[in-house]
């Protein structure tokens, strides 16, 4: 395990598919404290609908992982909370934009014959709305996102990663995941895909490596080929 850019580029050059997480690597959907407010609102709604607030729910700061927890307790409530979360994500998508390196990274992948797919715990509609602001080739990316009746497929489950590989006609061993969270790394490990960790914070990169990422770099721009 390493943070070597050379090792990252070697991984990318020998794969047939790059599976990209959305929130973080490609865009920041809920920047600043917004993600905390959405998580708090989702928790409040779940409790108002009868879900018992335990320590696990109380300390969760990620609304998507909170959804996974609620779905294990009450599927009907989880669907209601998921609809509320989707509305918040669609609102946020109006202001969110892809990171500057996103288009160049996808073009570089396509130029060397590597496919790219987005696998996200966010609602697909919110993701496609943000990617639309980036123009081609971002608007053409296949998006595997959250669906209300399949919350068990959210990362760290490998389900969406494996679906992306199947759709691309690629084995998981020929794909590479790029993500910025431990759940991304765990999903990739379960799917038998190497994972490139992404974070501008050195301590966070160390955490991603400890979780099992093969390599870790500061941002998507670090993955661009040298000119």
Domains, the chain, ranges and CATH? 5-27+99-223 (3.40.50.1000), 34-93 (no CATH)
Nearest to 98 by CA among 221, 223, 226: 221
What pLDDT is stored for residue 93 in this prediction? 98
Q: How far apart are CA 147 and CA 150, in angstroms?
A: 6
C-alpha distances out from residue 222 to 55, 92, 177, Å: 38, 27, 15
Cis peptide before 68 (omega within 30 of 0): no
pLDDT, the chain, mean: 95
Burial 5-42 (b: 16+ CB within 10 A, else e): eebbbebbeebbbbbbbbbbbbbbbbeeeebeebbeeb
pLDDT, greater one: 212 or 9: 212
Mean pLDDT calculated for residue range 96-125: 97
C-alpha distances out from residue 156 to 1, 180, 186, Å: 20, 12, 6
What pLDDT is stored for residue 225 in this prediction? 83
pLDDT, greater one: 227 or 157: 157
**pLDDT at residue 101 tops 60:** yes
Q: Which residues contact 169 (CB under 8 A, 6 or more apart)?
A: none
**pLDDT at residue 29 tops 90:** yes
DSSP lists the bridge partners of residue 2 as 215
What's this model's pTM, rounded to 2 decimal places? Answer: 0.93
Instruction: Look up tokens 């609809």; give the residue.
Output: 83
Percent of the chain clearing pLDDT 90 (strictly above): 93
What pLDDT is stored for residue 8 in this prediction? 83
Predicted confidence (pLDDT) per residue in 212-221, tens digit: 999 999 999 9
Measured in Å, how far apart are the chain's first and last C-alpha atoms?
Answer: 26
What pLDDT is stored for residue 226 in this prediction? 74
Mean pLDDT calculated for residue range 126-143: 96
Residue 197 · residue 208 · CB < 8 Å: yes
Mean pLDDT calculated for residue range 34-57: 97
What pLDDT is stored for residue 7 in this prediction? 81
Mean pLDDT calculated for residue range 142-146: 97
pLDDT band at 1 (very low <50, low <70, confident <90, very high): very low
Tally Cβ neighbours within 10 Å of residue 98: 22
Mean pLDDT calculated for residue range 144-166: 96
Q: How far apart are CA 38 and CA 52, in angstroms?
A: 19
Mean pLDDT calculated for residue range 77-83: 97
């Amino acid at each position: 395990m390493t943070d070597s850019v050379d090792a990252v580029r070697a991984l990318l050059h020998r794969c047939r598919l790059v599976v990209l997480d959305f929130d973080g690597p490609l865009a920041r959907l809920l920047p600043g404290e917004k993600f905390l407010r959405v998580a708090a609102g989702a928790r409040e709604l779940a409790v108002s609908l009868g879900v018992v607030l335990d320590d696990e729910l109380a300390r969760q700061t990620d609304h998507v992982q909170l959804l996974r927890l609620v779905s294990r307790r009450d599927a009907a409530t989880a669907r209601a909370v998921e609809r509320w979360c989707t509305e918040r994500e669609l609102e946020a998508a109006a202001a969110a934009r892809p990171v500057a390196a996103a288009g160049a990274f996808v073009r570089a992948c396509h130029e060397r014959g590597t496919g790219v797919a987005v696998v996200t715990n966010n609602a697909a509609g919110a993701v496609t709305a943000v990617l639309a602001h980036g123009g081609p080739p971002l608007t053409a990316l296949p998006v595997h996102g959250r669906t209300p009746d399949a919350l068990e497929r959210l990362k760290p489950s490998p389900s969406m990663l494996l679906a992306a590989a199947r759709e691309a006609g690629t084995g998981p061993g020929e794909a590479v995941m790029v993500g910025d969270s431990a759940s991304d790394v765990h999903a990739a490990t379960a799917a038998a895909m190497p994972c490139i960790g992404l974070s501008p914070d050195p301590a966070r990169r160390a955490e991603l490596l400890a979780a099992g990422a093969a390599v870790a770099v500061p941002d998507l721009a670090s993955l661009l080929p040298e000119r």
